[in-house]
Amino acid sequence: MRNDGKNCEIEQLRAISICLVLVAHVIMLSPFIYERVVPLFQYASFGVGVDLFFCISGYVVAKSYCDYFDRYRTRAQFWPATRAFWLRRAYRLLPSAWLWVVIGLVCAIFFNRTGVFMDVEQNLKSALAIFSLTANIAHMYGWLAPNNVYWSLSLEEQFYLLLPLFLLLITGRRARIMALLLVIAVQFSLARNPFGDLTAQYLASFRIDGFAWGILVFMLSRSAWYLRLEPRFLLRKPLALAATLLLLYLLVAVPAQLFAWSISMGLLAMIAAALVWLASYGKGYLFGYQGLTEPMQWLGARSYGIYLIHLPVFKFTHEAATRYLQASGQAYSLAVVPFLLLFAGVLIVLLAELNFRYVEEPLRRLGSERAKRKLAALEASDNAENGPFVRPCHDGQRTAS
């Protein structure tokens, strides 16, 4: 746990998630990479990084906002608080997401000799789906390419839209736990295959048990059972490392090797929840060793930008390499792959840092400030009528108004 209260191990999980996604998509960089990596997919599914992201989001948002919504609901000011929450989320997610959609469109117009960015019409159809927050639906019908990764972002946006309604309609702790367990139980045995028939694709595109597990981990942290279940034996670093590596192996292996089992997606969400539970303590139960802390903190903090950026970079790298090789009369061969990986890696790191510094963070702060001003005006109005009250902060702590 850092001095600013941020849980370093949650950031490490974000770093793991984005690394898994990068491995899953690196096959798009070169056919030579595709030939060598795809056979591994029968043993390990690296796309599960998005499911780990879902569980992390459920935990982090519940921890930050459950008390926030409950306190404003008790003062009959739920909807103004909800609009402030949505404002924060919009400033946090949409500017970066839309920026890289537009950049992809520009590349499709001006830097697309190989056709890797697809045509302008397809880019516009994809952009429309993304701007309307329906990318996960468009993905099933082939409308989302070339921005396929946005399907998961769309599901996360829909989760942020519906979470306040869940907290408004179901108010008791026990009732919320039962509702979340019901959501998990209903989905657990369903065949959610993103490559199956349309019904299976719909179920996969709207899988929300990862979010539900994340919220449950937060609710567990508010109970006496949280301390009773604390895995203190993992303070022994070798045991912590072994436990984490085992869970990560299961995370990638279960959906790949048990692909034919309808419960594989449900098991995947449970494994992700176990990792988030270990990380939630912030005491070193995840990995146990701190040698990679700084690089993983960097990756975790910039994981959102990397998620948006990596596919455009892979396509840009492919286009640039093809043009260079053609201009220099060289053949496209396996020897080019290390240079492709190096160039794409450096470009992703550079662009992710620029996006974080000049887009994500400034606009996140702006959204936070605007939301705080709206809530301050709301509280001032309420104080004038009813007297001062305890003001909820976005992290669920209490400060005097």
Q: Which long-range contacts (CB under 8 A, 24 or more apart) does 254-257 make?
A: 255/45, 255/48, 256/41, 256/42, 256/43, 256/44, 256/45, 257/42, 257/43
The b-or-e profile of 238-262 (16+ CB within 10 A means b, else e) is: eebeebbeebbebbbbbbbeeeeee
Query: 132 with 148: CB under 8 angstroms?
Result: no
Task: Write the pLDDT tens digit of every residue in 356-390.
Answer: 999 999 999 999 999 999 999 888 877 666 655 44
What amino acid is encoded at 273 in this protein?
A: A
Q: For residue 392, give the DSSP letter.
A: E
Task: Write the pLDDT tens digit of every residue in 264-304.
Answer: 999 999 999 999 999 999 998 998 776 667 889 999 999 99
CA 19, distance to chain mean position in Å, is: 12
Query: 145 with 118: CB under 8 angstroms?
Result: yes
How far apart CA 399 and CA 401 sit, in angstroms, is 6
**pTM of the model as a whole:** 0.92
Instruction: Please give the angle made by the CA atoms of 20, 308 and 312, to the nearest 5 degrees.
Output: 100
The count of C-alpha atoms lying within 13 angstroms of the C-alpha of 183, restricted to the half-sphere facing its C-beta, is 19
Task: Write the pLDDT tens digit of every residue in 165-212.
Answer: 999 999 999 999 999 999 999 999 999 999 889 999 999 999 999 999
Residue of 122, 133, 57 whose CA lies nearest to 94? 133
Task: Write the pLDDT tens digit of every residue in 128-166.
Answer: 999 999 999 999 999 999 999 999 999 999 999 999 999
Q: For residue 258, give the DSSP letter.
A: T
Which backbone phi and psi does 114 adopt, to 5 degrees? -85, -10
pLDDT on residue 82: 96
Q: Check pLDDT > 80 for residue 391.
A: no
Residue of 192, 217, 216 whose CA lies nearest to 206? 192
CB atoms within 10 A of CB 195: 8
DSSP helix/strand/coil, 357:
helix
Residue of 178, 186, 179, 176 whose CA lies nearest to 206? 186
pLDDT-above-90 percentage for the chain: 85
Instruction: For residues 39-61, give the mean pLDDT.
Output: 96
What amino acid is encoded at 155 in this protein?
A: L
How far apart CA 247 and CA 390 sit, in angstroms, is 41
pLDDT on residue 100: 98
Instruction: For residues 22-26, give the mean pLDDT.
Output: 96
How far apart CA 292 and CA 36 sit, in angstroms, is 28
- Which residues are registered as beta bridge partners of 399? 391
Query: What region does 360 belong to: left with phi over 0, alpha with psi -120 to 50, or beta?
Result: alpha
How far apart CA 37 and CA 254 sit, in angstroms, is 18
DSSP 12-32: HHHHHHHHHHHHHHGGGS-HH
Q: For residue 360, give the DSSP letter.
A: I
pLDDT on residue 388: 55
What mean pLDDT value characterizes the chain?
Answer: 92
Q: Check pLDDT > 50 for residue 263.
A: yes
pLDDT on residue 7: 87
pLDDT-above-70 percentage for the chain: 93
Query: 32 with 334: CB under 8 angstroms?
Result: yes
How far apart CA 287 and CA 130 sit, in angstroms, is 36
Peptide bond into 146 cis (omega under 30): yes
Give the H or E element holding residue 259.
Answer: none
CA 258, distance to chain mean position in Å, is: 24
How far apart CA 42 and CA 4 sit, in angstroms, is 42
Q: Check pLDDT > 80 for residue 3.
A: no
Q: Check pLDDT > 60 for residue 2.
A: no
